[in-house]
């Protein structure tokens, strides 16, 4: 399974919009637009999980720098989340 980072999203792009776009290249396990906890508004990026690594690479190559909802997407393999210290 490959986790894909999708950046530079329009605030109007939904998780289902992303799932539709990526499903053209293979099976999508999950598509999740990241939202601000307080406002619920999109933060302009998302993560998409695809079952097949080859399909995921095809999607990355095809969708990177392409237009979706008026914005040029930045698409690449997601990096593992870095541990951050708590700020209290």
Q: What is the pLDDT of residues 30-45, one digit of tens each?
A: 999 999 999 999 999 9
Is 87 domain-assigned? no
Q: What is the pLDDT of residue 80?
A: 84
Is 84 domain-assigned? no
Predicted structure pTM score:
0.89
Main-chain dihedrals φ then ψ at residue 80, nearest 5 degrees: -60, 145
For position 17, which CATH number holds? 3.30.70.330
CA atoms within 13 A on the CB side of 59: 29
Question: For residues 27 and 39, is the Cβ–Cβ distance under 8 A?
Answer: no
Query: 52: which residues sit within 8 A by CB, 6+ positions away?
Result: 2, 26, 27
Domain boundaries, position 28: 2-77
Q: How far apart are the first and last CA of the chain?
A: 35
Q: Per residue in 41-72, pLDDT tens?
A: 999 999 999 999 999 999 999 999 999 999 99
Residue 22 and residue 8: Cα distance in Å, rounded?
Answer: 16
Q: Per residue in 15-35, pLDDT tens?
A: 999 999 999 999 999 999 999
Helices (H), the chain: 15-23, 53-63
């Amino acid at each position: 399974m490959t986790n894909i980072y999708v950046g530079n999203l329009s605030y109007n792009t939904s998780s289902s919009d992303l799932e539709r776009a990526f499903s053209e290249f293979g099976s999508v396990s999950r598509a999740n637009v990241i939202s601000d906890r307080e406002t619920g508004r999109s933060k302009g990026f998302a993560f998409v999980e695809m079952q097949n690594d080859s399909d995921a690479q095809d999607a990355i190559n095809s969708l990177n720098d392409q237009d979706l909802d008026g914005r040029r997407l930045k698409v690449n393999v997601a990096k593992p989340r870095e541990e951050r210290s708590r700020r209290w």
